[in-house]
Amino acid sequence: MELRQYLNLVRKWWWLAVLGLILAGGTAYLVTSTIPPTYQSRTVLMIDQARTGVTDYSSIIASQRLAETYAQVIQSRAVLGQVQQNLGLPYPPAVSVSAVGDTQLLQIYVSDSNAERAQAIANEVAAVFIRYNDETQRGRFASSRQSLEAEMALTTKDIEATTTALQAYKSGAAGANLSEEARQAEIKRLETILAQYQSSYVGLVRNYETLRLTEAQMINTVTVVDAAQMGRQVGPNRMTNTLLAAAVGLALAVGVAFLVEYLDDTLKTSEDVQSVLAMPTLGSIARINPAKSAPETLIVAAHPKSHIAEAYRVLRTNIEFSSVDEPLRTLMVTSSSPSEGKSTTIANLGVALAESGKRVIIVDSDLRRPVQHKIFEAPNAMGLTNLLVADASNVEMFLAPTPVKNLGLLTCGPIPPNPAELLGSRRMAEVIRLLKEHADVVLFDSPPALAVTDAAVLGSQVDGVLLVVDAGDTRRGEAERAKAMLDQVGVHVLGAVLNRLKTSRSGSGYYYYYYSSEDGGKRRRRSSKQHKSGEQRWAWLPFVGK
């Protein structure tokens, strides 16, 4: 797509982009205005990771994973549920956690609609997590510690019992019935047992202390570095939300515009005609305002200085230059579908050709829905069908007068039951020959090419054909099928007429400058609105055949 096409697209859809921007931005602003303010408080924790004695890549990865793990644990139900219960909150707190890169710090962010509550929640989350982490870490050594404590307690009891028995034997309270030698032997035995118990107890105490040291070394401790302060307001940000929504609305509007243009398969410009139909655009006619009366349709005669009239003259010139070696004597104008402006085009083209001094006859060969008699306000009681069935060579008696000098009109006449057969008959070829004897150019208004076969039948008998394309309404597929149908029967298609161009799309190519004797020769630009129907009166002169 060329830059000019992008500019045309912007010029066409700017209102949609502005509408999307305003609607999205305004909606975001109104919605944001109704949202209560949000406050945020922050607590910073430091993780003291257990020392393994080895520092390598795996320990660094483990440290990063530990921080990510703690971030997930803080946001778990085990922690937040306890915080909700401790503070009596009606809803779970909104908490987010992030690790500070290349540090052992964790940042806990709490958002709430109350600044003081945000601070309390942030501090409580830190406290609950620290307790939870400590209990979880120490739980790994609880079993070994309890086992050692139980053995130490049992050994203490054995020591106490042995010590009591030993003292009893030494004081004579026990073993009175034993000989001195036997009593001394028992004392030595008890002393040996006591020494064993004491040795075992010392070993248990040593193991217990070793366990405590190992526990202290392998536990990851968490401490508060920066306690939470009073929450500060962080939202809603009206300006940011409004700008973001406006940007999204603008993007959606632009996307819709491009989608509509992509799905629109109509022919709009001469470039479209060239790329799709592979033929030139001989004329570009702007849209004509609905005529209040039939003569107003003949804009070349009613408003000769308008830019639309000038466009028809350009079409006339292009047709003349398209056949310099062999001037066109017969020309048919058709379209792919009904209501594309072919009849208006051929009527104004006939006026433009007559203005150049050529003798012109317009033949309404649309034997199904004729309209030329309405445009020229001529009777339709006698016309082409009468000439076809009559064995007459005097064409002038069948012509209706027009308000334009050198322009004659052969209306349709009574509508026949077999239009295609009449147009393809030998008599039609004879009529065309007779018409050429009475005029320099004969213009044929035919039915649409896709509706019936009349256009293909008549087109093969004339020197050239113009295909009228309704800009922005004629679909590419329809125009292609019409062109292919005409090509199959050997019709010489001169080119296309791009009709009903919108003013916004016409650009500088569809405004014409002219010199007017009314303004002293000064150059001015006028549109068709500046010409009133009263500026020129028609001279109702009869058609001059020779």
345 Cα distance to chain centroid: 38
Distance CA 137, CA 221 (A): 9
Question: Confidence band (pLDDT; 50, 70, 90) for 216?
Answer: low
- DSSP, collapsed to helix, strand or coil, labels residue 331 as strand
The residues, ordered by sequence, that sit 6+ positions from 422 with a Cβ below 8 Å of its Cβ are: 367, 385, 388, 416, 428
Distance CA 104, CA 122 (A): 19
**Token digits for 145?**
């510690």
The residues, ordered by sequence, that sit 6+ positions from 57 with a Cβ below 8 Å of its Cβ are: none
The answer to whether the beta carbons of residues 113 and 38 sit under 8 Å apart is: yes
Buried-exposed string 144-177: b where 16+ CB fall within 10 A, e elsewhere: eeeebeebbeebeebbeebeebbeebeeeebbee
The residues, ordered by sequence, that sit 6+ positions from 324 with a Cβ below 8 Å of its Cβ are: none
* pLDDT above 70: percentage of residues in the chain: 87
Buried-exposed string 476-487: b where 16+ CB fall within 10 A, e elsewhere: bebbeebbebbe
DSSP calls for 386-420 = HHHHS-----GGGPBP-SSTTEEEE---SPPS-HH
pLDDT at 392 (0 to 100): 76
Kindly report, residue by residue over 408-420, the tens digit of the pLDDT: 999 999 999 999 9
Architecture in CATH for domain 270-535: 3-Layer(aba) Sandwich (3.40)
The answer to whether the beta carbons of residues 493 and 486 sit under 8 Å apart is: yes
DSSP calls for 265-322 = -B--SHHHHHHHH-S-EEEEEEPPPPPSSHHHH-HHHHSTTSHHHHHHHHHHHHHHHT
Whether 534 has a pLDDT exceeding 80, the answer reads no
- DSSP, collapsed to helix, strand or coil, labels residue 3 as helix
Relative orientation angle of helices 57-74 and 77-87, to the nearest 10 degrees: 40
Distance CA 159, CA 166 (A): 10
Mean pLDDT of 435-463: 92
Residue with more model confidence, 184 or 114: 114
Distance CA 43, CA 231 (A): 11
Mean pLDDT of 257-282: 88
Kindly report, residue by residue over 496-507, the tens digit of the pLDDT: 999 988 764 444
The residues, ordered by sequence, that sit 6+ positions from 203 with a Cβ below 8 Å of its Cβ are: none
**Token digits for 53?**
């004695």
CB atoms within 10 A of CB 293: 9
pLDDT at 138 (0 to 100): 76
The residues, ordered by sequence, that sit 6+ positions from 358 with a Cβ below 8 Å of its Cβ are: 406, 439, 440, 441
Hey, which residues does 44 pair with through a beta bridge? 107, 226
Mean pLDDT of 210-222: 75
User: By mean pLDDT, which of 135-139, 212-216, 415-419, 534-538 is the weakest?
Assistant: 534-538
pLDDT at 89 (0 to 100): 93
DSSP calls for 43-92 = EEEEEEPPP-S--SHHHHHHHHHHHHHHHHHHTSHHHHHHHHHHHT-SS-
Does this model's pTM top 0.75? My answer is no
Whether 347 has a pLDDT exceeding 90, the answer reads yes
pLDDT at 293 (0 to 100): 62
Distance CA 277, CA 481 (A): 10
Query: Which residue from 318, 364, 234 is spatially nearest to 498, judged by alpha carbons?
Result: 318
- DSSP, collapsed to helix, strand or coil, labels residue 230 as coil
Mean pLDDT of 29-39: 91
Whether 291 has a pLDDT exceeding 70, the answer reads no
Query: Which residue from 269, 293, 292, 291 is spatially nearest to 377, judged by alpha carbons?
Result: 293
Relative orientation angle of helices 476-488 and 270-277, to the nearest 10 degrees: 50
Q: Where are the beta strands (DSSP E) in 140-288?
A: 221-226, 232-235, 281-286
Buried-exposed string 247-279: b where 16+ CB fall within 10 A, e elsewhere: eebbebbbeebeeeeeeeeebbbbebbeebbee
Mean pLDDT of the chain: 84
Hey, which residues does 411 pair with through a beta bridge? none
Distance CA 512, CA 525 (A): 7
Whether 511 has a pLDDT exceeding 50, the answer reads no
Task: State the burial class of residue 104 (Cβ atoms within 10 Å of its Cβ: 0-12, 13-18, 19+).
Answer: middle
CB atoms within 10 A of CB 311: 27
Hey, which residues does 42 pair with through a beta bridge? 109
User: By mean pLDDT, which of 156-170, 358-372, 432-446 is the weakest?
Assistant: 156-170
Distance CA 442, CA 453 (A): 21
Distance CA 318, CA 308 (A): 15
Whether 130 has a pLDDT exceeding 50, the answer reads yes
Strand pairing category for 94-99 and 38-48: unpaired
pLDDT at 515 (0 to 100): 35
Distance CA 31, CA 85 (A): 33
